Amino acid sequence: MTRQMGVGGTLDVVAAEDLVKEYDGLQAVRGINFRIKARECFGFLGPNGAGKTSTVKMIYGLSPVSAGKLTVLGMDVRTKIRDIKRRLGVVPQENNLDPDLKVLQNLLVYASFFNISGSEARNRAQELLEFFGLADKAKERVESLSGGMKRRLTIARALINKPDLLILDEPTTGLDPQARHMVWQRLRQLKEQGVTLILTTHYMEEASQLCDRLVIMDRGEILVEGNPHQLVSEQAGEEIVETSSSEEMIVHPATLEDVFLKLTGRKLQD
Ligand SMILES: Nc1ncnc2c1ncn2[C@@H]1O[C@H](COP(=O)(O)OP(=O)(O)OP(=O)(O)O)[C@@H](O)[C@H]1O
Ligand SMILES: [Mg+2]
């Protein structure tokens, strides 16, 4: 699959300044700042309720910005969201495939929202089904797919308009390891093809495997930003020495989990 990039080398794909999301007086996102560059994979890592979904929903224009500034692909989300949306692919936290339609039809109907129709739509849909290992499922009902297949179909659907920026809210939550690894492999291939990726996750392994840079969020704030491997060595060192319940010394390589623990005193995953 080849794709045309409409994004210049130095332009920030997303820039947020003092970005706030407030729901009925509750600040879910508390004045955060970040910049995402073209062709990188940028992650929002954090526990439940950290504000990850609230942040990406503002980026993809589902949820209005409460305060601060947010530009996507060089355009202000407050005034240019229609133009922005044409160039985005979105994988929401919950799959929202149409259960009444077959697999291929899900892609074709979605293509029509971008005014892509006829042989162009069918070609793109076929190509995406092949890319995600779903070609033999084209005529099946969505209901009959496994969780991993539904997730792959949702990602395939998000690519139908050849987006410059793909936003994935917890791409692999709930998937078994094999299904998760397949999604990771495909996301790496998309990045090689020049797509900028934004993902949220509470899996530190996902963040460290895929992200060039990430922010760790907690309670609406960004605690730290950087390359995952550098963050681990700067914040947590090379290895962690723990004492087990049976008083034995355990030594393991430091991970992003240790970074989170050091910064908050809490564990990232429940
Ligand atoms: N539509 C809403 N109305 C009111 N409060 C909301 C709404 N959406 C989210 N919140 C609250 O905002 C905070 C951040 O939620 P958000 O969904 O952004 O977190 P998250 O990091 O995506 O968490 P998770 O890992 O569970 O998906 C939480 O306290 C949540 O209860
Ligand atoms: Mg979320």
Q: Which residues surround ligand 2, an ion (CB under 5 A)?
A: 52-53, 93
Whether pLDDT at 264 is above 90 = yes
Element (DSSP H or E) covering residue 261: helix 256-264
Residue 263 and residue 223 in contact, taking contact as beta carbons nearer than 8 Å: yes
Residue that has been written with the tokens 């308009």 in this structure: 161
Which residue from 52, 62, 167 has its CB within 8 A of the most atoms of ligand 1, so it is best to mutate? 52
Q: Is 50 in the pocket of ligand 1 (CB under 6 A)?
A: yes
Q: Is 202 in the pocket of ligand 1 (CB under 6 A)?
A: yes
Residue 192: strand, helix, or coil: helix
Q: Are strands 75-76 and 67-72 parallel, antiparallel or unpaired?
A: antiparallel
Domains in the chain (CATH in brackets) are 1-87+163-228 (3.40.50.300), 98-162 (no CATH)
pTM: 0.93
What is the pLDDT of the chain when averaged over all its residues?
93
Q: Is 152 in the pocket of ligand 1 (CB under 6 A)?
A: no
Whether pLDDT at 149 is above 50 = yes
How far is residue 22 CA from its own chain's centroid? Answer: 22
Residue type, 170: E
Q: Is 38 in the pocket of ligand 1 (CB under 6 A)?
A: no
Label residue 238 by pLDDT band (50, 70, 90): confident
Q: Give the residue from 36, 14, 18 showing the smallest Cα distance to 220.
A: 18
Whether pLDDT at 268 is above 70 = yes
Q: Is 186 in the pocket of ligand 1 (CB under 6 A)?
A: no
Residue that has been written with the tokens 């409409």 in this structure: 6
Range with the lowest mean pLDDT among 1-5, 45-49, 91-95, 262-266?
1-5
The whole-number pLDDT of residue 236 equals 82
The whole-number pLDDT of residue 5 equals 43
Label residue 228 by pLDDT band (50, 70, 90): very high
Residue 91: strand, helix, or coil: strand
The whole-number pLDDT of residue 8 equals 45
